[in-house]
Amino acid sequence: MPELPEAETIARGLAGVLAGKTIRDVTVLREDVVHGSQARFREALADRRVSVVGRRGKNVVLTLDDASRVVVNLGMTGRLVPGPGSGPAPGSTHPAVLLHLEGGGSLAYDDVRRFGRLRHLSAAEWTRWSRRLGPEPLSRSFTGRRLAGILSRSRSPVRSLLLDQRRIAGVGNIYAVEALWFALIHPRTPAAAIGAGGVTRLHRSLRRVLRAAVQAGGTTLRNYRAPDGNEGRFRRRLAAYGRAGGPCLRCRAAIERIVFGGRSAFCCPRCQPAPVPLPAEGQ
């Protein structure tokens, strides 16, 4: 599933294509990818100008000229593919929604498995929706102290906390695993058990990994592509994720794969020692 770096790459790639353009009409080819009534969705977007293309968490966000938003969650296989004509671009193999642009051109939401969703939110709905998400980890306000406060309130494994979009927005499994490897923290470590030094390392590592992945255009493991069709280049820089059995780049011990919370995690058993459980409440 696309994470913060992939959504950021897509938003940046579409900014030059969409910003300032007016949506003339909308064709919904697959109703199940549109949240709510497709008729209301079409009516809300028709004849509206796209003022900003941005991102919130893992979502690509189109801000319209009435301050409402189109929020695009790409799910597992969703893509946003610009095209020169009114129909889907040649690269769009499974179009689900088409935005027809004034003066020609289109934007296709393409999704093989159709797990993604598009929704239109009024300005007030957007504010309420956005407030339910955690802070952006690349924002100036996401300080080490703020991360420490988030961690201190949870006994959940730190990898699980990093994936909770209500705590921190945009981080998925790939970049959580990578940040924890750089920070020398085992993925199962209870969040509240991470000391001050670990918090500092994790804050620095998380931001460094996310910035590097954005610069590389994200990570392509299977389906993800940028709007220009290019794959993300960060895969070749992965230190832990997907490298089970391979040598740790620090100590040469074999990277291990562990499964918890229904998701795989990867870590070095030597550099990231298994955690000591927290005492029960009242002890």
Catalytic residues: 2-3, 58, 263
**What's the alpha-carbon Rg for the chain, to the nearest Å?**
20
CATH superfamily of 4-131: MutM-like, N-terminal (3.20.190.10)
- Cβ neighbours of residue 220 under 8 Å, at least 6 residues apart? 231, 232, 233, 235
pLDDT tens for each residue of 70-88: 999 999 999 999 998 877 8
Burial of 1 by CB count in 10 Å (0-12 exposed, 13-18 middle, 19+ buried)?
A: middle
State the pLDDT at residue 282: 41
CB count within 10 Å of CB 112 equals: 14
Residues 134 and 149: beta-carbon distance below 8 Å? no
- The per-residue pLDDT string of the chain (283 residues; one tens digit each, 9 = 90 and over) reads 799 999 999 999 999 889 999 999 999 999 999 999 999 999 999 999 999 999 999 999 999 999 999 999 999 999 999 998 877 888 889 999 999 999 889 999 999 999 999 999 999 999 999 999 999 999 999 999 999 999 999 999 999 999 999 999 999 999 999 999 999 999 999 999 999 999 999 999 999 999 999 999 999 988 888 988 899 999 999 999 999 999 999 999 999 999 999 999 999 999 999 986 544 444 3
State the pLDDT at residue 88: 84
**In the chain, where the domains are located:** 4-131, 144-267
CATH fold for domain 144-267 = Helicase, Ruva Protein; domain 3 (1.10.8)
Backbone torsions φ then ψ of 209, nearest 5 degrees: -65, -45
- Cβ neighbours of residue 198 under 8 Å, at least 6 residues apart? 183, 184, 185, 189
State the pLDDT at residue 223: 82
Pick the closest to residue 88 from 109, 71, 114 (CA basis): 109
The Cα diameter of the chain in Å comes to: 69
**Fold match flag (4-131 vs 144-267):** no
Residue pointed to by tokens 């990277």: 255
